[in-house]
Amino acid sequence: MEQKVDIQICLGSSCFSRGNKVLVRVIEQYLNENNLRHLVHFHGAHCFSSCDKGPLMSIDGREYQQLNEERVRMILNEIFGPVSSVL
């Protein structure tokens, strides 16, 4: 059994107010559109203690900072390779 990719998104108040509320939806949409849900454990986490660098997420222990919608999609494409929403 393959281990799932672990995606954590900071739900601390600073990251949340800087846009992680929207990024949660972006990640969920990406996973669903590309049929990747079964490969990922996606969950929220409390403060990553880098509030000035937010919004933040962590993928398999690697932290990504100063995120926006475009950057999140780019990172996910790098991790999962070229995916198609038309299967």
Question: What is the CATH classification number for the domain harbouring 66?
Answer: 3.40.30.10
What number is the average pLDDT over the span 58-81? Answer: 95
> Looking at the domain assignment, is residue 73 inside a domain?
yes
Cis peptide bond N-terminal to 82, omega within 30:
no
User: How confident is the model over 5-60, as pLDDT tens digits?
Assistant: 999 999 999 998 898 999 999 999 999 999 999 999 999 998 888 889 999 999 99
Domain that holds residue 70: 5-80
> Looking at the domain assignment, is residue 67 inside a domain?
yes
Please give the model's pTM, rounded to 2 decimal places. 0.87
The total domain count for the chain is 1
Q: Taking the mean position of all CA atoms in its chain, how far away is CA 59?
A: 7
Our separate counts of H helices and E strands in the chain read 3, 4
Cα 54 from Cα 14, distance rounded (Å):
7
> Looking at the domain assignment, is residue 86 inside a domain?
no
Rounded to whole angstroms, what are the CA distances from 11 to 23, 34, 47? 11, 24, 7
